[in-house]
Each structure stands twice: as C-alpha cells, then as structure tokens.
Amino acid sequence: MGLLSKKDAALITDPFADNNPITIQVLGICSALAITAELKASIVMAISVLFVLGVGNVVISLMRNIIPSKIRIVVQLIVVATLVIIVDLVLKAFQYELSKTLGAFIGLIITNCIIMGRFEAFALANGPWRSFLDGIGNAVGYGVILILVGFFRELLGSGTLLGFKVLGDPIEKTGVYAFGYENNGFMLLAPMALIVVGIIIWIQRSRNEALIEEN
C-alpha cells in the first residue's frame, strides 16, 4: 500500500461496509431497485456509476475554488449530465440491447443522489486524488449492493445467472427442477427489490449493532 496512506485507504474501504451509500447513507436507491431484475443490468449500472462518480468527483474537486456557491448545483448537474451522455452513447454503440432495457434509468444517473451527495459532501472540500478515491469507494459500495440484489433476484426469479441456466432447464426438468423446484416469478417484480434490500439492511445491522437506529 505504498501509494495509499492509511487515511486514504479508509476512503475506499469505509463505504464498502460501515458507511455504505445504500444501506447507511440512504443514497441512490432509485436505480438500485429498478434495474436489478437481471445480474447483467446490475453490473453495467454499477460500472456506469463507477465511471461517472470517479471522474465527476475529480472534475468538481478541480473546479471547487472557482464555482460560485450559489450556482453550484447547476454546475454539478451539467458536469454529471455530460458524463452520463458519454456513458449513454458508449452503451448504445456497444451494448444496444442492454441500453434498451436500461432505458431511462441511464439518464437517471444524473439525479442519482449518490453523485450529488458525494459532490456536496466530499469533492467540494477535498483535493482531486482524495476525491477520486472517495468516488471509487462509494461507487463500489453501491455496486456491491446492486450486484447482490441482482444476483438473488435473477437466481431465484428466473433460475439463471448472467443468462446461464445454473439451476438446470425448467422445461425439460433437469438439474434442481427434477426434484420439483419452481422458479419464484415474484422475485422479478418490482416490489421484491424493496424487500430484498430491506433484508440486506436487516442482516447488516444485526451483525453490527452500532448501526441500529433509535426509534
């Protein structure tokens, strides 16, 4: 860890667990819930947010001394919107089918609260390198939850992972289906995303008592 001092390393590892953007800071819920019915979409979303948050944090951090505080929200929105347009065009060029399924939700990265939240809370007050680490750390913390939710919803809902039939074929009754297992189609519907995230929060907080909220 010659590159990173202990303080810098904490910037990356903290959002991973005890300061997770989704389960603790309550940021960026919208996209976390809407697109997690498939693992692949979750991974692509996580990578897009990683790019936007990492680069955006550096840009805002470099400009932090010349942005008048009254119009900073507009400036931040323009920076994010530009980065998101890049992501959108890249996706359309290389993953056209996926960009169709993600649809409006790529555009909604602009108003993903994680991004504005980290700009406001961190990049406006810190140098570019630390902001970059903070951006990467938070985006990874976000991505982990996204991939976790996507993993369970796709596995239990359609019995596949990334499109591979890991549990066997439901029509020809191979694999676990031979023993009478059925896919739970309910997992693919929107409300189950909320309940899966609720359960993740439950598990995390029962492992770490310090995170429990007062009533």
Partner 1 sequence: MEHLELFFKSIFIDNMVFATFLGMCSYLAVSKKVTTAVGLGAAVIFVLAVTVPLNWLLDQYILQPGALVWLGPEYAEYDLSFLSFILFIATIATMVQLVEIIVEKFSPSLYNSLGIFLPLIAVNCAILGGSLFMQSREIATLGLALNYGIGSGIGWFLAILAIAAIREKIRYSNIPAPLRGLGITFIVTGLMAIGFMSFGGMLTGGDEEAEEAPNTQVVKVIKTEDAKAIKMKKKELANNTKEIQE
Q: Which is nearer to partner 1, 82 or 183 (CB)?
A: 82
Using CB under 8 A as the binding criterion, the count of chain residues that bind partner 1 stands at 49
**Identity of the residue, 44 or 115, whose beta carbon is nearer to partner 1 in the bound complex:** 115
Indicate whether 193 belongs to the interface with partner 1 (CB under 8 A): yes
Identify which range of 7-15, 40-48, 123-131, 196-204 contacts partner 1 by CB under 8 A: 196-204
Of residues 130 and 205, the one with the C-beta less far from partner 1: 205
- From the CB of 111, what's the least distance to partner 1, in Å? 4
Judged by CB under 8 A, does residue 198 bind partner 1?
yes
Amino acid of residue 14: D
| Cα separation, 153 vs 22, whole angstroms | 17
CB of 146 to partner 1, least distance (A): 13
What token pair was written down for 48?
């897009």
Residue 15, token pair as written in the block? 């959002």
Closer by beta carbon to partner 1, 105 or else 129: 105
Strands (E), the chain: none
Residue identified by tokens 């990356």 is: 12
- CA dist 201 and 184 (Å) reads 22
Q: Which residues lie across from 209 on neighbouring strands?
A: none
**CA 173, chain centre distance (Å):** 35
Q: Is there a contact between 184 and 27 (Cβ–Cβ < 8 Å)?
A: no
**Of the candidates 11, 20, 27, 145, which one interacts with partner 1 according to CB under 8 A?**
27
Residues between 54 and 93 that touch partner 1 (CB under 8 A): 73-74, 77-78, 81-82, 84-85, 88-89
Between vectors from CA 55 to CA 52 and to CA 58, what angle results, nearest 5°? 135
How far is residue 172's CA from residue 195's CA, in Å, rounded to a whole number?
31
Hey, which residues between 106 and 125 contact partner 1 (CB under 8 A)? Answer: 107-108, 110-113, 116
Among 4, 26, 62, 90, binds partner 1 (CB under 8 A): 26
SS3 5: coil
Exposed / middle / buried, residue 64 (Cβ in 10 Å: 0-12, 13-18, 19+): middle
Which residues in the 119-178 window bind partner 1 by CB under 8 A?
A: none
List contacts with partner 1 (CB under 8 A): 23, 26-31, 33-34, 73-74, 77-78, 81-82, 84-85, 88-89, 103-104, 107-108, 110-113, 116, 189-195, 197-198, 201-206, 209, 211-215
